[in-house]
Copies of this chain bind each other. A is one copy, B any other.
Amino acid sequence: MSPIDFYFDLSSPYSYLAATQIEALAAKHGATVAWKPVVLAAVFKAADNHMPAQSPPKARHMLIDLERWAKQYGVPFVFNSGFPFNAIKPERMVLAAESSGRAGALARALFHAAWAEDRDITRAEVMADAARAAGLDPDAMLAAIETAAVKDRLRETTDEAIARGVFGAPAFYVDGALFWGNDRLHHLADALDAKRG
């Protein structure tokens, strides 16, 4: 079976919630996960979509909704005080870790820093801490995010997501089927079971 392509933005709190669940879900249903950060602003622009926070009562409700999901999952959550922030640099670092097989561990460490500890993951020292937590060399990773190859890779994952119809994050793509939202993980699980027969 193809891996689940997990498209996320590190600045998206619902992406954080999904990131706390996706590996266990994949393992339970016989699948693996490809961690693919995207530039959500570029996705929104391509899809003519809007930030959910543009409606004031919707933005207020979102804070309550996020707390309910964190409670449901039993995971820590704090709304990041720098939101909305530009996650391009830490996202490049996740892609710099692809060949090491530690992209998922690094993404989870960065998500945790941003959404459980309210840290500023655009700062080099916070990225370095996450790299260390994921068993990676912080200096090598900080150098890698300035390379053309890694910058190109983030454009590639973003373009791939857009080409597959992604319009928001988190999104999941497996064998031609797209799922959108932390609140659709049960549909993703159903699809994985159907493929196993």
Q: List residues of A whose CB falls within 8 A of some B CB.
A: 47-50, 54-58, 60-61, 64-65, 68, 72, 165-168, 178, 180-181, 183-184, 186-187, 190
Nearest B residue to A54 via CB reads: B48
Chain copies in complex: 2
Chain B residues near A49 (CB, 8 Å)? Answer: 54-55, 57-58
In the bound assembly, the distance between CA atoms of A184 and B72 in angstroms comes to 12
In the bound assembly, the distance between CA atoms of A190 and B71 in angstroms comes to 11
Contact A180:B48 (CB < 8 A) given known A55-B167, A72-B187, A187-B68: no
- Chain A to chain B contacts (Cβ below 8 Å), 25 pairs: A47-B55, A47-B57, A48-B54, A48-B55, A48-B56, A49-B54, A49-B57, A50-B50, A50-B54, A55-B167, A57-B166, A58-B167, A58-B168, A58-B180, A61-B165, A61-B167, A64-B178, A65-B180, A65-B184, A68-B184, A68-B187, A72-B186, A72-B187, A72-B190, A183-B183
In the bound assembly, the distance between CA atoms of A178 and B61 in angstroms comes to 8
Q: Choose from B48, B57, B181 the contact partner of A167 (Cβ within 8 Å).
A: B57
In the bound assembly, the distance between CA atoms of A157 and B186 in angstroms comes to 33
Nearest B residue to A55 via CB reads: B49
In the bound assembly, the distance between CA atoms of A167 and B48 in angstroms comes to 20
Chain B residues near A183 (CB, 8 Å)? Answer: 181, 183-184
In the bound assembly, the distance between CA atoms of A167 and B57 in angstroms comes to 6
The 8 tightest CB contacts between A and B, nearest first, are A49-B55, A57-B167, A58-B167, A183-B183, A57-B165, A47-B55, A47-B57, A48-B55
